[in-house]
């Protein structure tokens, strides 16, 4: 009972929501940095050149596009083929 009082604290609840969202952002930044580093950085030089910088920007944009495209397409195929369980068991 006492433990539940802590989680029901609205200030704490809001804090957890905000921090979770920040953490999802951070996590994706870590992940995309890793993926785009592989794609864009050949040999690390004394300065970040503008070509690598541009590549990183495009890489992030296209990564997000890809993720949204996949999500949309999955939703579409799901809708036209019925429930997800049917599609998965096919």
Residues that bind another protein (CB under 8 A): 2-3, 5-6, 9, 11-12, 15, 19, 22-23, 25-26, 28-30, 32-34, 36-37, 40-41, 43-46, 48, 52-53, 56-57, 60-61, 64
Crossing angle between the packed helical segments 50-81 and 10-40, to the nearest 10 degrees: 120
Residue placing its CB nearer to another protein in the complex, 41 or 78: 41
Q: Which parts of the chain fold into alpha helices (H)? A: 2-8, 10-40, 50-81, 84-89
Residue 48 Cβ vs another protein, minimum distance, rounded to whole Å: 4
Residue placing its CB nearer to another protein in the complex, 29 or 71: 29
What are the DSSP calls for 10-23, one per residue? HHHHHHHHHHHHHH
């Amino acid at each position: 009972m006492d433990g539940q009082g802590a989680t029901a604290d609205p200030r704490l609840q809001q804090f957890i929501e905000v921090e979770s969202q920040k953490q999802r952002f951070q996590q994706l930044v870590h992940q995309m940095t890793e993926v785009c580093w592989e794609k864009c950085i050949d040999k690390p030089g004394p300065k970040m050149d503008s070509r690598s910088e541009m590549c990183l920007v495009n890489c992030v944009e296209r990564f997000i596009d890809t993720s949204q495209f996949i999500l949309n397409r999955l939703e579409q195929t799901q809708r036209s083929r019925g429930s997800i369980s049917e599609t998965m068991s096919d």
